[in-house]
């Protein structure tokens, strides 16, 4: 480390000790903008023999148990690097040089497994059902789902998975090591959206190193330092995949894709089914060549969501439109009727199946000369006679039309009397 970096860390250590409690929120807000401090702290953690490592770990733990949300997230961003340093020291059998890091990890773990009242936490997760739509899938695209008796009996039921309560730990051993580290990585993944890019880069790098150290791929990746194999559990690899999957779509495409390949490589060697299933599913869903740069910022996953509005077109053929089209008649404009009346032409009212439009000519009223009769109107009269629904209702109108037609055939030119 350079002298300037050591000075930045020492100033940070002394500043927090003299800080009053009333100034803690403002201090926590401004802390995340100090990029030079974050870089210097990473270098301190990466040097297990550094004299500043112990006071730095102690202050990070004070941040975590202060109750301030910003200070808690500030400590969480160093969690992947802290876990890598602990695993690397454990693999080299030099346990004494990782005492402060182990104490910090245990302190964070013991704080997270209890609530603010000191009671053990029980985490729950509801497994989504494929029969119900979500932002990730449509049930119709999966295929037909036969409703069996067992499926009907379980309709509406959801499966809930519980985690906990977790026991308190006083020290890390080979037996409980990955139980603690898996839970800590779960806490880190819960705050992924608040993690800066430098923390996501550290996560991807330690995932690759843990998976390939001691194997032939280490020479391909050109990783130096630790050459012995680091034991790893299946649950820990699944949690690593959660963070890597987030990093893929949030500006770290290159590092995250490399970490994904290394996790698949290690899962195949260990024959772990859970990491293989999750990793292959992630790899199959990745776009091919769509994200070549890792500096383009936050990305998103494109999914097709079912629209809330109806897709039925306004011009769609429905039963109502067919009924209206079938019984629609061309109405004669009122203006033409008035003009025909002034010219002495007999105006024949239009006949409808359900009602009679116009006024009926009464008995004894003088008729007027007949004009041209609309061919479509006469065709509609014939259709009316064949419709069984209108036989009872349109009988008087039908008789009237027959008498009018007879008068036209006889060639009457003078006004006559219409009989009903």
Reported in sequence order, the residue ranges of 128-244 that DSSP labels E, i.e. its strands, are: 159-163
Which residues, 6+ apart, have CB-to-CB distance to 68 below 8 Å?
24, 25, 28
173-178: average pLDDT: 89
pLDDT for residue 218 is more than 70: yes
Coil, strand or helix at 57: helix
Phi, psi for 4 (deg, rounded to 5): -65, -40
First to last CA, the chain: 115
pLDDT (0 to 100) of residue 365: 44
How confident is the model over 337-387, as pLDDT tens digits? 555 445 555 445 554 444 444 444 444 444 444 444 444 444 444 444 444
How many Å apart are CA 370 and CA 287, to the nearest integer? Answer: 78
**What's the full length of the chain, in residues?**
420
How many Å apart are CA 304 and CA 135, to the nearest integer? Answer: 7
Q: In terms of pLDDT, which residue wins out, 238 or 141?
A: 238
Q: Are 166 and 119 in contact (CB under 8 A)?
A: no
How many Å apart are CA 135 and CA 237, to the nearest integer? Answer: 26
Across 106-120, 272-286, 325-339, which has the greatest mean pLDDT?
272-286
What is the share, in percent, of the chain residues with pLDDT greater than 90? 32
How many Å apart are CA 164 and CA 160, to the nearest integer? Answer: 13
pLDDT for residue 29 is more than 80: yes
Which residues, 6+ apart, have CB-to-CB distance to 296 below 8 Å?
251
How many Å apart are CA 209 and CA 213, to the nearest integer? Answer: 6
Bond before 165 cis per omega within 30 degrees: yes
How many Å apart are CA 211 and CA 201, to the nearest integer? Answer: 16
How many Å apart are CA 35 and CA 196, to the nearest integer? Answer: 10
Of 348, 349, 350, 353, the closest CA to residue 326 belongs to 353
pLDDT (0 to 100) of residue 82: 94
**Lowest-pLDDT range, 94-98, 153-157, 193-197, 276-280?**
153-157
Q: How far is CA 346 from the centre of its chain?
A: 71
Of 415, 419, 418, the closest CA to residue 345 belongs to 415
314-319: average pLDDT: 55
328-to-177, 320, 331, 383, 392 alpha-carbon distances in Å: 82, 12, 9, 12, 20
Burial of 12 (0-12, 13-18, 19+ CB in 10 A): middle
pLDDT for residue 154 is more than 70: no
């Amino acid at each position: 480390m350079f002298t300037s970096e050591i000075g930045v860390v020492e100033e940070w250590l002394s500043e927090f000790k003299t800080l009053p409690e009333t100034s803690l929120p403002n201090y926590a807000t401004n802390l995340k903008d100090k990029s030079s401090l974050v870089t210097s702290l990473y270098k301190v953690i990466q040097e297990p023999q550094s004299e500043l490592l112990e006071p730095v770990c102690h202050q990070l733990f004070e941040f975590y148990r202060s109750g301030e949300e910003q200070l808690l997230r500030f400590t969480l961003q160093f969690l992947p690097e802290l876990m890598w340093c602990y695993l690397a020291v454990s693999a080299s059998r030099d346990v004494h040089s990782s005492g402060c890091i182990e104490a910090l990890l245990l302190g964070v773990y013991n704080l997270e497994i209890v609530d603010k009242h000191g009671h053990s936490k029980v985490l729950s997760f509801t497994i989504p059902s494929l029969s119900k739509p979500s932002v990730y899938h449509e049930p119709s695209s999966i295929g037909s789902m036969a409703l069996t008796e067992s499926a009907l009996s379980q309709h509406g039921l959801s499966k809930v998975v519980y985690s906990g309560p977790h026991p308190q730990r006083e020290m890390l051993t080979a037996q409980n090591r990955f139980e603690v580290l898996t839970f800590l990585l779960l806490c880190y993944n819960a705050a992924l959206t608040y993690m800066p890019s430098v923390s996501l880069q550290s996560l991807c790098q330690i995932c690759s190193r843990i998976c390939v150290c001691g194997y032939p791929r280490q020479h391909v990746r050109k990783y130096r330092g630790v050459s012995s194999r680091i034991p790893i559990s299946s649950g820990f690899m699944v949690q690593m995949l959660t963070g890597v999957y987030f990093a893929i779509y949030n500006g770290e495409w290159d590092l995250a894709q490399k970490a994904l390949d290394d996790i698949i490589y290690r899962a195949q060697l260990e024959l772990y089914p859970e990491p293989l299933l999750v990793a292959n599913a992630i790899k199959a869903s990745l776009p091919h060549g769509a994200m070549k740069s890792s500096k383009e910022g936050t990305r998103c996953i494109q999914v097709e969501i079912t629209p809330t509005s109806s897709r039925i077109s306004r011009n769609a053929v429905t039963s109502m439109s067919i009924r209206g089209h079938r019984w629609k008649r061309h109405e004669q404009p009122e203006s033409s009727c008035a003009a025909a009346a002034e010219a002495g032409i007999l105006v024949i009212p239009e006949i409808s199946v359900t009602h009679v439009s116009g006024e009926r000519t009464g008995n004894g009223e003088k008729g007027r000369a007949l004009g041209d009769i609309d061919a479509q109107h006469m065709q509609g009269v014939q259709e009316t006679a064949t419709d069984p629904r209108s036989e009872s209702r349109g009988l008087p109108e039908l008789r009237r039309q027959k008498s009018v037609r007879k008068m036209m055939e006889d060639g009457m030119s003078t006004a006559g009397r219409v009989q009903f």
